Structure 1
Amino acid sequence: MLLLTFLRRRGRGWTEARSRDLTDFEDWRRFAEANPKRIGGSKWDREQAAFYSLYKWAKDNGHVGSIPVSTVQSRDYHGSLVTTPTRSKDSRPANVHWLTPRTWRRWIDVGLRGHTAAGVVEPGWTGRTEDRNVAFVRLLVSSGLRRAEGGSLLTFEVPQRRLEGGRYYRGQVAAQVTRGKRMRTFYIASEAVGEVEVYVESSRALAVRQAQRLGRYEHLAGMRLVDEVTRGLKPKIRWHDRLGVEGERELNLLTAGERALLFTEGRRGPEPLWLWLNEQGLPLGIHSWDGVFREANQRCARVLTPPAWLGMDPHRVFAPYATPHSARHSFALYMLVVLERLTDLRYGLSPEERRDFRLLYGDPWFLVQTLLGHASRDTTVRHYLAPVADLQLRSMLDAIDVPARAPMPELDDTFARIARESEGIQDFGDEITPPGAGA
């Protein structure tokens, strides 16, 4: 919209834009002192990518003769020649946030469970969706799933805990809800599965009962009642709608919007298969989780920041700050440290044996790359695990006892040392004011 307004003031329609117009627009957006809301290189790159998509579509369909966006050519992962918009020199490759495991525990307790700085529930706290929110955050932190991937899960896609137990359970995330459009396996901690089960059997079940009693599902547009979920390498969903029209589609190819329409016939009427529901018993939109995190961040800042520093803590010294994607970042950091440690504990490898093991099976960086679903190892190293790239993790972990259970609180000291030596990692203990946080 800003670009179209800029062009109109110059007397041009969007199909008449020239390269000089885009250059002048960038100068205004980024560098003009008269602009009170200048942006950085990363945001400009995102805007320019949108402009490129628009004008490429326009050129392919004969609306313009050329693309006014500055571009470069390079080779992609498969060696093919691709054209992309020019990137700004001052853009950051990723806006990465890490929280250590104990900091996540602190953030969840204060932000989602209503605890005070003293660790007790605040008088008058009414966490109506507390179990849902805690279960979702535990899911993301322990699995590394993206917000859209975890937020669009169906009830039967959550791994079920087995009688014989286990530390981690395996699940499948459907291709259509992933960024790379490729199905992949994810692993989730047993404790996180337990949190999800508690939510399903408590507040979720109550929300469904109330919605059924009030008839909210009776006239829901587009509802599809699932008759069968087939088994095999490519499971399919078979359903019928209110008019009796039958249909089927491969589970792997269902979009988030289609998933939100899937219901099953329960004992008291239709029940949604979408895992995460709002208080009305309807599917919770994926973007709604941003509001949950925002409110939790605001509460952490209010409860943990000394009154004299409220609104004056840009570096977040007193209170942790989290986003859905920082759960993914933290998972990557956590798994690197744990996998390094478990490799040594499991196999007792010498340096030579470790080198042979990595050649055969891949090192922890490769394993984390697989868990995150990245096509390139470089993406994993550059965007997610940079803080620990130069640390001698083996020597740091030598003094740590054998971990007995997830989430391995025995490693808190290790993560604290990593946080002290690396920029951008949030680590908060039980104290209200972190060491060295004075005036």
Structure 2
Amino acid sequence: MDEWWLVFVPDPERWGPLPEAGVLGVRDLPAALDAVGLRPGDPVFVRPDFVLDAELLQFALSPDFRDLKRESRRNYATDIRLLLSWLWRRGVPWRTATIADLRAYKEFRVDSPLNPQRIGGTKWNREAAALTQLYKWAKVSPLPVDVGRRADRSASARSSRVSWLTPRTWGLWQDLGLRGLGRDGAPLPGWDGRTELRNTAFVGLTLSSGLRRQEAGAMLTFELPTRPLRSGRYCRGQVASALSRSKRDRTYYTSIESVRQLGAYSESERAWAIQRAQAEGRYEKLSLMRLVTDVTLGPVPVVHWVERDGTAGRRELSLLDWRERQWLFVEGPHGPEPAWLWLSEQGMPMLPDRWNTVFWQANQRCEEALLTPEEREVPRPLRYGGRSRMRRRIPRVTPWRSTCWSC
């Protein structure tokens, strides 16, 4: 074994049943982690010889690392693990790595033909930022890598390219990728469309409102915009500060048509998913459920709930992040049901990052419908880099970022 292991502390509801005898001699593992100071999402580094690295554990608990957003902490830890494994194979402890070691690592990651999974300059710069933070925390001098040094950054880094689509191309992408229609407008063979309304409603909302994936993806049912403006064409909604990138409440506007799509989804696909989940007892098996008892109105709405054990809780709506929101349930006509708007087929909250898979699959359907078998054999970098005709035919889209209706 020459790979470092990286384990992330799970959220409370994702522990699942633990053996009565405990794990590795620890009877109550969640309580033990809490006593150490580890929180959900924190990384734990384990050496290839299955020894937990205590120094890297202290790094994960340090304020500099803890101040990062959870997704950033996950990305940084993943980048650090790659370096740890690379150094381990060469017999170099990570603390004693030199500038020459890190320059060799950069060359391997970015330029070496011996590396079949080379990365671009932008990705390397992010890795360099993670490694710089580690070595600064460890007070290694001189720093073996410093993202502030020009030699440690990649000269080939470039900002992401955004594609602007015409309404016709955008409509083609929705028909082929989300609605399962062929080029002739007829349903494709084998298309079941079980989540068609959900996916098209999400795209309609983000397209109309300009909401980001997490802002729209973590919306609760009682946050839906319902009151139209005086013109009657748009509704006004509020983005919670805990979901926005600026960490401030923000007003957004969305079209009446997108609100109608949300209503159609809620009354059909969403309702069916909840009925199946209730019939199978999925919600009863959840270890963490907060049943909403009241949502106060006013300038600062507050959500009140009660836990399974009867403990009452409350929190400002704008301060609830997406992890807390997935625990909220409301009393429906046939029992508790999620307050989370977007549900999977199993009736469980569909977390914001799962939308990446939905749109990746949509892009795949576009390829299958628009490319011949011979064209699909062409490697993707060549397909989109050097064949402009083919590039125009296949929209590869991230819906909440890359559409321009003025084109």
Instruction: State whether TM-score is above 0.5.
Output: yes
Cα shift at 1:178 = 2.2
Cα distance in 1, alignment partners of residues 317 and 153 from structure 2:
37
2:340 alignment partner in structure 1: 274
1:137 alignment partner in structure 2: 203
Measured at CA, do residues 102 and 57 of structure 1 come closer, stay the same or move farther in structure 2, by a change above 3 Å? farther
1:53 alignment partner in structure 2: 133
Cα shift at 1:93 = 1.8
CA RMSD of aligned residues (A): 2.3
2:397 alignment partner in structure 1: 322
Q: Which has the higher contact order (CA 8 A, sep 6+)?
A: 1
Structure 2 counterpart SS, 1:226: strand
Cα shift at 1:56 = 4.1
**Which residue identity does 1:32 align to in structure 2?**
S
Cα distance in 1, alignment partners of residues 138 and 208 from structure 2:
43
Cα distance in 1, alignment partners of residues 166 and 272 from structure 2:
34
TM-score under structure 2 length normalisation = 0.72
1:2 alignment partner in structure 2: 82
Structure 1 stretch displaced more, 200-209 or 168-177: 168-177
CA contact (8 A) 1:236 1:251 kept: yes
Of residues 361, 382, 398, the one that matches 1:295 is: 361
CA contact (8 A) 1:40 1:91 kept: yes
Cα distance in 1, alignment partners of residues 166 and 152 from structure 2:
35
CA contact (8 A) 2:177 2:363 kept: yes
Cα distance in 1, alignment partners of residues 219 and 294 from structure 2:
17
Cα distance in 1, alignment partners of residues 167 and 152 from structure 2:
38
Cα shift at 1:232 = 2.3
Cα distance in 1, alignment partners of residues 213 and 151 from structure 2:
27
Cα distance in 2, alignment partners of residues 211 and 217 from structure 1:
7
**Which residue identity does 2:114 align to in structure 1?**
A
Corresponding position: 1:159 with 2:228: no
- After superposition, the C-alpha distances for 1:242-276 in whole angstroms (9 at most, x for unaligned) are 10001111111112110000001112100101000
1:402 alignment partner in structure 2: none
Of residues 95, 104, 121, the one that matches 2:187 is: 121
Structure 2 counterpart SS, 1:99: coil
**Which residue identity does 1:289 align to in structure 2?**
W
1:205 alignment partner in structure 2: 271
Cα distance in 2, alignment partners of residues 275 and 235 from structure 1:
18
CA contact (8 A) 2:228 2:256 kept: no
Cα distance in 2, alignment partners of residues 57 and 180 from structure 1:
27
Structure 2 counterpart SS, 1:23: helix
Corresponding position: 1:18 with 2:98: yes
Cα distance in 1, alignment partners of residues 137 and 208 from structure 2:
40
User: Tell me, which stretches of 5 or more residues in structure 1 are unaligned?
Assistant: 74-83, 338-414, 416-439
- After superposition, the C-alpha distances for 1:160-208 in whole angstroms (9 at most, x for unaligned) are 1549762222211112122332221222222211111110011101111
2:3 alignment partner in structure 1: none
**Which residue identity does 1:72 align to in structure 2?**
G
TM-score under structure 1 length normalisation = 0.67
Cα shift at 1:102 = 2.3
Cα distance in 1, alignment partners of residues 344 and 298 from structure 2:
32
Percent identity at matched positions?
50
- Trace 1:75-224 onto structure 2 (pairs within 5 A): 87-160=153-226, 162=228, 166-224=232-290
Cα distance in 1, alignment partners of residues 337 and 211 from structure 2:
25
| Count of residue pairs brought into register by the alignment | 318
**Which residue identity does 2:207 align to in structure 1?**
V
Cα shift at 1:18 = 2.8
